[in-house]
Amino acid sequence: MKRYELDGKVALITGAASGIGRATAISLARRGAVLALADINADGLAETTGLVEAEGGKASQHVCDLAIREQVDALPRAVFERHGTLDLLINNAGVTILGDFQTVTANDMEWVIGINLIATMRLTKAALPFLIKSRDAHIVNISSILGITAMPGQAAYSASKFGVRGFSQSLRYELRKHGIGVTVVHPGAINTNIIESARMVGNSPQSEAKTRRDTAKKGVNMPPEQAGEIIARAIEARKIRLLIGNDAKFLAVLERLFPISYWSIVGRISPE
C-alpha cells in the first residue's frame, strides 16, 4: 500500500490540549497537515494551536466535552464546515481512575468507559460520512498496552482499552471497501498528565492518593513528543498496529507467551 501523504490533509485530534494529542498535532503540522484540535480544555487548546503555528501549521480549535454525546455527534460536521473536508481522525482523548474495582463507583466506571470507548465509537460513527467523502482517509484509535494486557487497579481502564482494540479490528475489515485504513496504537508508559488528572476511588485521603499516583508513574519516562513522532510515522506507513515503548513491546510478547500468568511474572521481575 502506498505511503499516506499528510501534506494538506485535515486531521481531527481529540485530547489535543496536552500529552500525546498535542505532540501528534505538532508532528502532523510539520508534515503539512491542517489540524482540527478538540479538547475540553480551552486554554490547553490555545497553547497547542500556538505550538502548531510556530511550526508553520494551521489549526482550528473545537472545545468539546466527550462525556456529552450531543457535542461528540456534532464535532465532525463542525470540522467539515470549517475546513471543507475531513481526512484523518485520531481518537486520542482518554481518562482513568486509580483504585481497586471493589471500591470504584458505577459513575466512575461509566465515566472512564464513556470517554475512552463510547465517545471513540460515537465520534467515529459521526465522522464516517465525511471520511468516506475524502477518498483518502485514515482513522487512528489510541488504545494502550492495557488494551493487550491488564493490571490490578485498572479494571475499568483496561476494559475500555480492550474495547478500543476490538472496535478497531472490526472496523478495519468493514472499512476496507471504502479504502479507509485503521491504526490501533498501544502506548506504554508515556509521560503525560493522565495520572495527575486521574480520579481516585472513594474519598481517598491525600496521602493515599499521592501514593497511588507515585506508584502509577513508576517507569513513566518516554516524552510525549517522541510518541507523537512515532504515531505520525505510523500513519504515513499505514500501520495496522503500533506498540510504543520497550515496556509495551515486552508486555505484548509476555502476554502472547504466557496469556494466563503474565502478570504474576511481571510481579516477580519488577523492582520494588
**Using CA atoms, how far apart are residues 40 and 120, in angstroms rounded to an integer?**
15
Contact 17, 45 (CB under 8 A): yes
List Cβ neighbours of 128 (8 Å cut-off, separation of 6 or more): none
Distances (CA, A) of 237 to 186, 190, 240: 16, 22, 9
List Cβ neighbours of 115 (8 Å cut-off, separation of 6 or more): 66, 67, 93, 94, 95
Q: Which of 4, 157, 173, 262 is catalytic?
A: 157
Annotated catalytic, 173?
A: no
**Using CA atoms, how far apart are residues 169 and 139, in angstroms rounded to an integer?**
12
Q: Write out the catalytic residue numbers.
A: 157
